[in-house]
Structure 1
Amino acid sequence: MFGDALPRARRFAELLAGPGREQGVIGPREIPRLWDRHLVNSAYVGRVVPPGSSVLDVGSGAGLPGIPLALSRPDLRVVLLEPMARRVAWLEEVVAALDLDVTVRRGRAEERETRRACGESDVVTARAVAPIGRLAAWAMPLVRPGGRLAALKGASAHDEVRRDADDLHAAGAADIEVVECGAGDATTHIVVVHRTERRSATGSGPGAGRRGRGRKDRSS
């Protein structure tokens, strides 16, 4: 999955297990399952990201899924967005240690200043940030028309999509799908929310989604 970047992926795992655990960016109980639950789980997001995309990882935290995604997909232009200063410092240290061409920004997705600074990306990713409806309200304005939000979710992803369907479409969703990668306990669920390509008559706000194509929920 990581190809030539496997040594740097191993180094990232070492950083998470050592200083990452010490600094509290990842819990000690997660150390034995770093690869299947965190690194590989995050790299699977690359399955739903088109080649050469610009990617904004919202609430990057420990660097998940943004750093494994950048390692496994060097064709992507990745920005890690994180509101907490100490985690921003951690991300900057990791990016330097792994010699990654990745940008780290401090900010919250829902803030106007962040939206002005980051602009619109082809893909916005997120992991364990918020329920999908609330996440879409924050993140979809950062997705270009025709782009997508790719959110890592648990086994209840389908139920969450059904529950928050109205909020997703209010945020500008055209199509919604749940993509499953892997198998068994290691199955990764990625909710992919495609933003409508249309803009509203008064601008590019997420309300444009109500004029987009009809809802389609499907699993694959």
Structure 2
Amino acid sequence: MPTLLENRIADLLEPYLAGGPELAADLIPRMSRYLDLLMLWNAKTNLTAIREPAQLVQRQLGESLFAARFLPATGTLLDFGSGGGFPGIPLQLAFPDLRVTLAESQGKKAGFLREATRSLALNAEVWSSRVESMPSDRSFDIVAMRAVDQAAAMLPIAQERVAHTGQLLRYLPASEETHLGEWDLTQEAQVPLSQGRIALWKRA
């Protein structure tokens, strides 16, 4: 028995998808399988503090997918501090041709990400170490940060991984300033049903 019926998941995701780009035709059934995996693993591993399935769909999956309207459907994306796979796995499900790297140094969470990529047959890599340990020449078209521990300290490390023509994507609380040194703000939007925002920057 699925955690939530697919039509219920579709209804919960609608505010985040409305007016956005065309996404993968099989997005909802695959999101359903992802949700089931999250609920199963979250019972034994703290992937997210959210336990109620509908809230999980909205707060994690929906907010992750909302960023799709600002991103290319191809290229490379680094999910910095992926945790339970947010936003990297929903974005990979939305854009199958996007090459996603899920970076997570905590062993149990990295184990979940490996199981999720296997079970969902994702074209995604799990980097189960710190981003600083990646080869120095690795860079990405998009570097995404969402609910990263010690975000201020991690931000310079994330910026170093943004390709010359790439963008940095962050999920921000309402009160956080969008000024980012020598970087230009290219997009900013309120996340539906939330006080949080999505913002993207490129190198000045």
Matching residue of 2:140: 121
TM superposition outliers: structure 1 runs of 4+ over 4 Å: 130-133
Unpaired runs of 5+ in structure 1? 197-220
Quick one: which of 151, 162, 183 aligns to 1:143?
Answer: 162
Matching residue of 2:177: 160
Rg bigger for which structure? 1
Matching residue of 1:87: 109
Query: What's the TM-score once normalised by structure 1's chain length?
Result: 0.74
Quick one: which of 56, 59, 71 aligns to 2:78?
Answer: 56
Q: 1:21 to 1:189 in 2, by over 3 A?
A: farther
Matching residue of 1:205: none
> Does structure 2 conserve the Cα–Cα contact (< 8 Å) formed by 1:36 and 1:186?
no
1:145 is paired with a residue whose SS is: strand
> Does structure 2 conserve the Cα–Cα contact (< 8 Å) formed by 1:44 and 1:188?
no
In terms of fraction of residues, the more helix-rich structure is 1
> Aligned ranges for residues 38-49 of structure 1 at < 5 Å?
38-49=60-71
Unpaired runs of 5+ in structure 2? 1-16, 18-22
Matching residue of 1:189: 197
Matching residue of 1:98: 120
| Percent of residue pairs bearing the same amino acid type | 31
User: Number of residues paired by the alignment?
Assistant: 182
1:176 is paired with a residue whose SS is: strand
Q: 1:193 to 1:130 in 2, by over 3 A?
A: farther
Q: Does structure 1 residue 19 correspond to structure 2 residue 19?
A: no
Q: Distance in 2 between matches of 1:68 and 1:14?
A: 14
RMSD over aligned CA atoms reads 2.2
Q: Distance in 1 between matches of 2:92 and 2:128?
A: 18
2:168 is paired with a residue whose SS is: strand
1:193 is paired with a residue whose SS is: strand
Query: What's the TM-score once normalised by structure 2's chain length?
Result: 0.79
